[in-house]
A and B are shown apart, each in its own frame.
Chain A
Amino acid sequence: DAKTTQPPSMDCAEGRAANLPCNHSTISGNEYVYWYRQIHSQGPQYIIHGLKNNETNEMASLIITEDRKSSTLILPHATLRDTAVYYCIVRGPLASGGSYIPTFGRGTSLIVHP
């Protein structure tokens, strides 16, 4: 599975959009981009994933560049409860040799301040 690079920390004002970048320049055509977050003292929580097209759900939006070498997770109206570590992971389907073990790196520590 491709490696990812994320900034170690970011901050955002409450009510503003939080845009978390992720670089995955070695991503291959059938690998998906997954995002998870981990709020302090809790287990990681799945947020969203995508392959090529932009995705949106009730938690966030995922914007994937046309060349798929990077993506941005957008929290449109950040709240204090969105303070967490955000992990970007790239995984391929098992059938094509992708790993069933997602590799969680250090992620981005997002602090939302009043």
Chain B
Amino acid sequence: GAGVSQSPSNKVTEKGKDVELRCDPISGHTALYWYRQSLGQGLEFLIYFQGNSAPDKSGLPSDRFSAERTGGSVSTLTIQRTQQEDSAVYLCASSLNRGDSEQYFGPGTRLTVT
């Protein structure tokens, strides 16, 4: 079946612009995660959704970052007034239920802020 998909695959934006990153999880997966990965680094947790609600937003690095999930499916991560330090690969993952089963990751969106 279809895996987790993310769009766009690459995004180049100017400093100060807003960007939206999209994640389509595997159908039926109730848990959804956003991470980011800077070059040569490990994965940094950003936010977790269970259904449409986000019980844990503790990883969002600043109030310029927000995320929503509608219909228990598609999620959008929005970064406002982008900064150069926001450049990274943004990864989305989903898991079957309650977040304690194995995660399936999308290919990521590579964001470059110039």
Bound complex: CA A46 to CA B45 (Å): 17
- Structural contact, A106 and B42, CB atoms closer than 8 A: yes
| Also in contact, A46 and B42, with CB within 8 A (given A100-B31, A100-B48, A101-B56) | no
Pick from A36, A44, A91 the residue with the most CB of B within 10 Å: A44
Asked, given contacts A43-B108, A44-B43, A45-B105, whether A94 binds B100 with beta carbons under 8 Å apart, the answer is: yes
Residue in A closest to B97 when the chains form the complex, CB atoms: A94
* B81 within 8 Å of A (CB atoms): no
- Mark contacts of A43-83 with chain B using CB atoms, 8 A cut-off: 1 yes-contact digit, 0 otherwise: 11110010000000000000000000000000000000000
Task: List the A side residues contacting B103 at CB < 8 Å.
Answer: 36, 44, 46, 102
Chain B residues near A43: list those with CB within 8 A. 4, 91, 93, 105-108
**Contact, CB under 8 Å: A94 / B107:** no
Nearest B residue to A49, CB-CB: B102
Interface members, chain B 90-113 (any A CB < 8 Å)? 91, 93, 98-100, 102-108
- Chain A residues whose CB sits within 8 angstroms of the CB of B93 once the complex forms: 43-44
Is the beta-carbon distance between A93 and B108 smaller than 8 angstroms?
no
Task: Please tell me the size bucket of the interface on A.
Answer: 20 to 34
How many chain B residues sit at the interface, stated as a range, is: 20 to 34
**Distance of A93 Cα from B101 Cα, bound (Å):** 9
- Shortest distance from the beta carbon of B9 to any chain A beta carbon, whole Å: 10
Q: Is B65 an interface residue (CB 8 A)?
A: no
A98 at the interface (CB under 8 A from B): yes
Chain B's closest residue to A98 (CB) is B100
A111 to B49, CA, bound (A): 35
Seen from chain A, the residues whose Cβ lies within 8 Å of a Cβ on chain B are 34, 36, 42-46, 49, 91, 93-94, 98, 100-107
- Seen from chain B, the residues whose Cβ lies within 8 Å of a Cβ on chain A are 4, 31, 33, 35, 42-43, 45, 48, 50, 56, 59, 91, 93, 98-100, 102-108
* Given A43-B4, A44-B43, A101-B99: 8 more A-B contacts, CB < 8 Å: A42-B108, A43-B108, A94-B100, A98-B100, A100-B50, A100-B99, A106-B42, A107-B42
